[in-house]
């Protein structure tokens, strides 16, 4: 059984249709890269999965449970959405760290709030888990730093630790290196690569073609809100069948 | 002469300070409520609040004081409010409207991504407001709030239109006796007050300097 099944998702903003009949599935422990030019709907798709946008049609199932169905209002209750969001983690293009909290506090805040509601974990164990996560990101010496004291690459690694702290089933990345200086993209990509090696289930929207090919088990190419081509990276990136995919990839080849 | 003048000015100062602090006590939270109303997704409420804010900010505080003091009696034959209470109501409503616009500016200047980051981390709306955005809002609104506080100190002199004896009233009473220096002395009282406020607000700004 797939961990994620997306069926016939459609999304409009007013009269503009940004996503049309999007369907795909993802297996546990796999990484999916979504590529495509700006405005192709990649980010909107991620935002739909994270309930930041509500699709107008279609359904989303995680581990076989339908968590969203556009035809079933019962799946769209505000109170339920909060819980369902936790199936997904999202790493933003612009990090969106909380500026008034240290790196460690950014990582622990949400988990502490959840623990306060549900009981269970002690503050100490959450802190320790947070420190371990930051150490995994190579930031053991930065736990007490505030976001403005960190480089973009470090901030993005804190953001990854923050998303991981809640143990999402699927971790989503929305162009995680697009806001970084070129010399800082490497450290973030390395972290994502190591997550892939540890079989973290991930969806990565990216413009880094070489990275997408290396790290992904599956690649989706989107254009104008539709999935043009999907399959193994060796097929989609190295031997694209569709004309639009070829055109898109040739722009990267020339860079 | 200095001692009796000082004593009577201190008496006026008491009224001024009482009005100042009570206005802040009620207008700061009320302003926040109004700002939520002015950002409501329910359009009729938003229009209503925006109209009220426009009327209150667009008309002189002095008229509002007069209307709240004399209005209930002349319009509905109700008993008059005590003078100080009427003045306080006028000040609270007036300043709450100004504060609401400052809050609104502060709240809307927090990037959307901060709310979204809180949402995807499973936080509730109140948690996002209190744990994520509030401190960022406070940091942004300290300078404009400081302006309002200092204006409020000086606006308290308006209550004289309904014969509440505040600081300037006391200072002015000596003009009839041919003395001008108590008026300068009165100004010094205001300067000291606004000086203390400036120092406190600067300290607050510095305290919030640890993040950007």
Residue B1 pLDDT exceeds 80: no
Residues of B with CB below 8 A from A99's CB? 136, 211-212
Contacts of A54 in chain B (CB under 8 A): none
B209 lies within 8 A of chain A by CB:
no
- Chain A residues in contact with B113 (beta carbon < 8 A): 92, 94, 96
DSSP string, chain A: --SEEEEEEEEEETTEEEEEEEEEEE-TT-EEEEE--TTSSHHHHHHHHTTSS--SEEEEEETTEEEEETT-GGGG-HHHHHHHHTTEEEE-TT----TTS-HHHHHHHHHHHHHHHH--S-HHHHHHHHHHHHHHTT-GGGTT--GGGS-HHHHHHHHHHHHHTT--SEEEEESTTTTS-HHHHHHHHHHHHHHHHTT--EEEE-S-HHHHHHH-SEEEEEETTEEEEEE-HIIIIIS--SHHHHHHHHHHHH-
Contact A83 B122 (CB under 8 A): yes
Task: For residue range B58-77, list pLDDT tens digits in order.
Answer: 999 999 999 999 988 888 88
First-to-last alpha carbon distance for chain B, in angstroms, is: 53
Q: Which residue has the tokens 């802040």?
A: B24
Q: Is B134 on the interface with A (CB under 8 A)?
A: no
Q: Is the pLDDT of residue B23 over 90?
A: yes
For chain B, domains (ranges, CATH) are 2-210 (1.10.3720.10)
Rounded mean pLDDT of B109-124?
92
Among candidates B117, B124, B212 on the partner chain, residue whose Cβ is nearest the Cβ of A92: B117
Phi then psi dihedrals of residue A66, to 5 deg:
-75, 115
Cβ-Cβ contacts under 8 Å between A and B: the total is 59
A226 to chain B, closest Cα gap in Å: 25
The backbone torsions φ and ψ at residue A120, rounded to the nearest 5 degrees and listed phi first, read: 105, -110
pLDDT at residue B37 is higher than 80: yes
In whole angstroms, what is the distance from residue A46 CA to residue A83 CA? 17
pLDDT category of residue B48 using cuts at 50, 70 and 90: very high
Chain A neighbours among B 90-119 (CB < 8 Å)? 111, 113-114, 116-119
Over residues B17-34, mean pLDDT: 93
* CB < 8 Å to A94, chain B: 113
Could you tell me which chain A residue has the CA closest to the CA of B127? A113
Which residues does A110 contact at the CB level (< 8 Å), separation at least 6?
A: A162, A165, A166, B118, B121, B122, B123
Closest CA–CA distance from residue B141 to any residue of chain A (Å): 15
- The CA distance from B161 to A18, in Å, is 62
How far is it, in rounded angstroms, from Cα A221 to Cα A241? Answer: 11
| pLDDT confidence of residue A74 | 81
Is B125 part of the contact surface with chain A (CB cutoff 8 Å)?
A: no
Mean pLDDT by 10 residues, chain A (255 residues): 88 88 90 89 91 90 87 81 89 92 93 84 88 90 92 92 92 90 86 90 90 89 90 87 86 67
DSSP per position, B27-87:
HHHHHHHHHHHHT-SSHHHHHHHHHHHHHHHHS-HHHHHHHHHHHHHHHH-PPPPPHHHHH
How confident is the model over B95-106, as pLDDT tens digits?
Answer: 999 999 999 999
ipTM of the complex: 0.90
Cβ separation A85–B120 shorter than 8 A? yes
Which residues are within 8 A (CB) of B16 and not within 5 positions of it... i.e. 6 or more apart?
A: B153, B156, B157, B166, B167, B193
């Amino acid at each position: 059984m797939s961990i994620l099944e997306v069926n016939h998702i459609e999304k409009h903003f007013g009269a503009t249709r940004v996503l049309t009949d999007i369907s795909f599935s993802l297996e546990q422990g796999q990484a999916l890269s979504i590529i495509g030019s700006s405005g192709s709907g990649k980010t909107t798709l991620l935002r739909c999965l994270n309930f930041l946008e509500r699709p107008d049609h279609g359904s989303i199932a995680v581990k076989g449970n339908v968590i969203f169905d556009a035809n079933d209002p019962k799946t769209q209750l505000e109170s339920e959405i909060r819980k369902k969001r936790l199936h997904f983690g999202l790493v933003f293009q612009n990090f969106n760290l909380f500026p008034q909290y240290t790196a460690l506090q950014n990582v622990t805040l949400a988990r502490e709030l959840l623990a306060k509601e549900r009981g269970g974990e002690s503050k100490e164990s959450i802190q320790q888990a947070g420190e371990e996560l930051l150490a995994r990101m190579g930031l053991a010496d930065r736990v007490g730093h505030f976001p403005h004291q960190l480089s973009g690459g470090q901030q993005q690694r804190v953001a990854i630790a923050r998303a991981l702290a809640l143990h999402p089933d699927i971790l989503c990345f929305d162009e995680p290196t697009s806001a970084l200086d070129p010399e800082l993209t490497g450290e973030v990509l390395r972290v994502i690569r190591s997550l892939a090696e540890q079989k973290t289930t991930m969806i990565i929207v990216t413009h880094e073609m070489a990275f997408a090919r290396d790290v992904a088990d599956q690649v989706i190419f989107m254009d104008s809100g539709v999935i043009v081509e999907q399959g193994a990276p060796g097929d989609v990136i190295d031997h694209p069948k569709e004309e639009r995919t070829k055109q898109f990839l040739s722009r990267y080849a020339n860079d | 002469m200095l001692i009796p003048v000082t004593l009577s000015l201190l008496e006026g100062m008491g009224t001024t300070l009482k009005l100042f602090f009570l206005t802040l006590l009620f207008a700061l939270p009320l302003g926040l409520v109004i700002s939520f109303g002015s950002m409501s997704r329910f359009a009729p409420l938003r229009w209503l609040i925006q109209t009220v804010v426009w009327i209150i900010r667009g008309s002189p505080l002095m008229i509002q004081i007069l209307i709240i003091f004399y209005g209930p009696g002349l319009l509905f034959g109700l008993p008059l409010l005590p003078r100080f209470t009427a003045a306080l109501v006028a000040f609270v409503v007036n300043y709450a409207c100004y504060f609401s616009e400052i809050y609104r500016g502060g709240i809307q200047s927090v990037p959307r991504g901060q709310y979204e980051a809180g949402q995807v981390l499973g936080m509730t709306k109140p948690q996002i407001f209190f744990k994520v955005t509030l401190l960022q809002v406070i940091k942004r609104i300290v300078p404009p709030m400081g302006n309002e506080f200092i204006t409020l100190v000086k606006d308290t002199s308006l209550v004289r239109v309904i014969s509440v004896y505040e600081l300037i009233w006391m200072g002015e009473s000596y003009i009839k006796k041919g003395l001008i220096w108590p008026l300068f002395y009165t100004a010094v009282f205001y300067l000291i007050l606004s000086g203390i406020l400036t120092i406190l607000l600067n300290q607050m700004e510095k305290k919030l300097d640890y993040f950007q």
